[in-house]
Every structure is written in C-alpha cells, then in structure tokens.
Amino acid sequence: MSLESLCPMKQRYLLIVLVVLSVLSVFIGVTSLNISDITSLTDQQQQILWQSRIPRLISIIIAGATMAVGGLIMQQLSRNKFVSPTTAGTMDSARLGILVSLLVFTSASPMLQALTAMVFAVLGTMVFMKILDKIKFKDAIFIPLVGIMFGNIIGSITMFFAYQHDLIQSMSSWLQGDFSMILAGRYELLYISIPLLAVAYGYANKFTIAGMGEDFSTNLGLNHKQVVNIGLIIVAVSTSVVVLTVGLIPFLGLIIPNIVSIYHGDHLRKNLPHTAILGALFVLACDILGRVIIYPYEIPIGLTVGVIGSGTFIYLLLRRKAYA
C-alpha cells in the first residue's frame, strides 16, 4: 500500500518537469518568440506558434509516450526485457508496408499509407512472436538479437525493392526520426495513438497477467492468446503511426520501460502512466538538446535519442544481473 501512495507523488514531479520543458520547447527556435510577447504576437509569430511549434510539441509528447508504452507492452507480452518495437521487426515491417503502399497504389493517400503500414506492422510483429514461440533457447539477449536480425531481413527486402523503383529517398525519410518537418496538417495521424494508449491502460491488468505466461493466465480465467494479440495490435498500429509521421526513434521503447521497471516493478496499471510521461519527457529533453546544441541548426531526434539511448542501453545490459 505504501508503494502505491508514493507513486502519484513522483508522477506529479515528472508532470511538472514535462510542463516546464513543454513551455520551453515552444519558445526555442530560429524565429524569436518570447514568453513576454505571448499577448502581443505578430501574425508571423502567431503562424509559427500554431503551424510549427505547437504541432511539434504535441507530436513529441505523443510519439514519446507511444514508443515507451509500446516497448513496455511488448516486453511484458514477450516476457523479455530487451524486446521493443525496434528489436522485434515492428518498425521495419511498418516501413515495408509504406513501400508496398507506394508501389501498389501509386499516389497513396496518407490514410491508405498508414493502413498498409499498420497491417504490415501487425503481421511482422506476429511473425516475430511466432518465431519466439518456436525458440527453445530463451536467453534474455538472444531473443532481441533474433528480432534485430528479423528486422534487418525485412529492412533489406524493403531496400531491394526501393532501389529497383528509385524510392530510396522517400524511404530514408522514415529511417531517422525528425521533428523539424512536423507542421500543422502533417502530424494529425498521431492522434490515433491517444485512444490506443487509453485502451492499453484498460488492458493493463490483463497484460500483466499475460506476462506471467499462458498457464498462469489460464488459471485466472484469462484468454492468453486473445490478450497477446490485442496487445500486439495496439503496439503495431501505434508504432506505425509514429514511423509515418515522425520516423524511427530507436531505443526509446527499450530504455524507458526498463528504468521505470527498476523503481516501480512490472505491474502495468501502476507503471504504464509513469512510462508514458517519462517517454514524453525523455524525447522532449532530447529534442530541446538537439535544437540548442548547434543552434541555429538542428540535430535530428533519431541521433540524439540514439546516442543517449545506446549509452543507457549498454548501462542497463551491464547491470542486468542485478535486476532482470
């Protein structure tokens, strides 16, 4: 009981930091925009605010929360701390889906692109889970390696066909996450993630039980397969949405849930909101860093998150014995 009463408090601190950084984020950029001017903005400043800064902030928060929660759910369902949408072929499958939609429907609307990407992401993730079922040797490191290989196979198929059809350039924009291209009218697809996160929260208890295995779930009267499938669909669909609008953000789904798990355990009802907030906060901080470090130029988010994330990941691997 004491743990549960502690949680909301810390969550409150995280939220306060998130709000402060959000405000900061809106007022950083090439076109100067000061908090003190907020009541007397010129038309141009108004436009920058509503067309670029606010959409960017919203997409950072949604993408960060989505990727972190996606990782959390996948780790729970695969019962492996090192599985995430980037190490299970989910993101690569989504990109293959985008390519297919570009090839098959020559002038694919964003919605059609999104749908194809989602279908491919769901299928790719399910294939990975099937492979996981077949593997007898369930070593904590071996499984994500299999996932990365699987993702690379799908990635090379995508590249092969992209070369043949001169689509490499359009494909590479989905390779590296980047928030600088986010403008009003180009990011709204991300809103799909919000109801999905809400559904995930509703399923939090079931995901936790499913994470304890099929026998454990059956004993408690839970349909294990159904819950796993629902979880994978939520993850795959929300991941595709992020890949389509922002691009690939590596490591996020890996490090954030692992950090939260150390302090708050694996009870999803308890740590899912935490993971979402910390994910958003992490991406926001990386984004602000990327924007000021070589001001007025920008480092893409994929790079900042990648560098900080890979460092943290190595640290987690080294201290794995202590908790995983």
CB nearer to another protein: pick between 4 and 37 = 4
Asked if 79 is part of the footprint of another protein (rule: CB under 8 A), the reply reads yes
Q: Which of 87, 208, 245, 312 binds another protein (CB under 8 A)?
A: 208
Binding mask 152-191 for another protein (x = CB under 8 A): ----------------------------------------
Task: Specify the stretch interacting with another protein by CB under 8 A; choose among 57-65, 83-91, 159-167, 198-206.
Answer: 198-206
CA angle 79, 240, 202 (to 5 degrees): 55
CB nearer to another protein: pick between 43 and 215 = 215
Site for another protein in 250-269 (CB under 8 A): 261, 265-267, 269
Asked if 320 is part of the footprint of another protein (rule: CB under 8 A), the reply reads no
Q: How far is the CB of 323 from another protein (least distance, A)?
A: 7
Site for another protein in 19-78 (CB under 8 A): 76
Asked if 206 is part of the footprint of another protein (rule: CB under 8 A), the reply reads yes
**CA nearest 110: which of 176, 192, 199, 195?**
192
- Going by the DSSP 8-state scheme, the letter that residue 116 receives in this structure is H
User: Would you say 248 and 177 are in contact if contact means Cβ atoms under 8 Å apart?
Assistant: yes
Asked if 142 is part of the footprint of another protein (rule: CB under 8 A), the reply reads no
Q: Establish how many alpha carbons lie within 13 A of residue 67's alpha carbon, considering only the half-sphere containing its beta carbon.
A: 31
Asked if 205 is part of the footprint of another protein (rule: CB under 8 A), the reply reads yes
In Å, how far from its chain's centre is CA 295? 26
What is the sign, positive or negative, of the torsion defined by CA atoms of 300, 122, 86, 73?
positive
Q: Establish how many alpha carbons lie within 13 A of residue 1's alpha carbon, considering only the half-sphere containing its beta carbon.
A: 0
CA–CA distances in Å: residue 118 to residues 13, 98, 122, 171, 244: 35, 9, 6, 16, 10
CB nearer to another protein: pick between 73 and 284 = 73
Helices 268-292 and 301-318: crossing angle in degrees, nearest 10, is: 130
Point out which residues bind another protein (CB under 8 A). 1-3, 76, 79, 204-206, 208-209, 211-216, 218-223, 261, 265-267, 269, 323-324
